[in-house]
């Protein structure tokens, strides 16, 4: 039963914007889940972010855009300005930029921000999903490697009996 709760919390942390897989994988691993399983659960849960965020962004945006003139004005002004400012970078880096942005396991980077960026920039949804998915995969590998290296280096100082 303890493992079941750990798995549920790992999925929750993997979906939660503040932690995403950066928090989910270490949580699972430090609570007794083997690292490959922790990576699979944490990374897999983080992959759910893209469709959830896209549904939220698409439907809520449509509702707000149709019903609130202040939102329409603010959105149009902000997005037009942002797209113009980033158009050169998007044409150069495009989906690779989204992948690399999601792949870096730092605060504020991740699947939520990458999905929001792709949506705001009007990038193709299917290609954006692939880009975000590769970013999540790379980030999963980075976080898992750090945990593995950290655990291995820790064993230099502590002898397990």
| 116 secondary structure, DSSP code | H
Q: Are 50 and 129 in contact (CB under 8 A)?
A: yes
Q: What is the pTM of this model?
A: 0.85
Q: Per the structure block, which two tokens stand in for 143?
A: 């976080």
Q: Where are the domains of the chain?
A: 47-154
34-56 pLDDT, tens digit each: 999 999 999 999 999 999 999 99
| Rounded CA separation 71/58 (Å) | 14
Longest dimension (CA), the chain: 67
For residue 38, the SS3 value is helix
83-125 pLDDT, tens digit each: 778 777 777 788 899 999 999 998 888 999 999 889 888 889 9
128-156 pLDDT, tens digit each: 999 999 999 999 999 999 999 987 666 65
Residue with tokens 């970078």, as numbered in its chain = 89
């Amino acid at each position: 039963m303890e493992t079941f709760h750990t798995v549920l919390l790992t999925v929750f942390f993997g979906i939660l914007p503040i932690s995403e897989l950066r928090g989910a994988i270490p949580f699972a691993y430090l609570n007794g889940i083997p690292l490959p399983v922790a990576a699979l659960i944490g990374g897999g849960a983080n992959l759910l972010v893209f469709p959830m965020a896209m549904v939220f962004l698409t439907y809520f945006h449509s509702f707000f855009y149709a019903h609130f003139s202040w939102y329409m004005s603010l959105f149009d002004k902000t997005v037009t300005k942002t797209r113009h400012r980033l158009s050169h970078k998007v044409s150069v880096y495009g989906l690779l930029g989204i992948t690399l942005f999601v792949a870096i396991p730092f605060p504020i980077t991740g699947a939520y921000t990458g999905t929001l960026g792709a949506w705001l920039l009007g990038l193709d949804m299917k290609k954006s999903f692939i880009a975000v998915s590769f970013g999540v995969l790379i980030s999963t590998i980075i976080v898992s490697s750090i945990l593995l290296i950290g655990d291995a280096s820790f064993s230099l100082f502590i002898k397990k009996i």
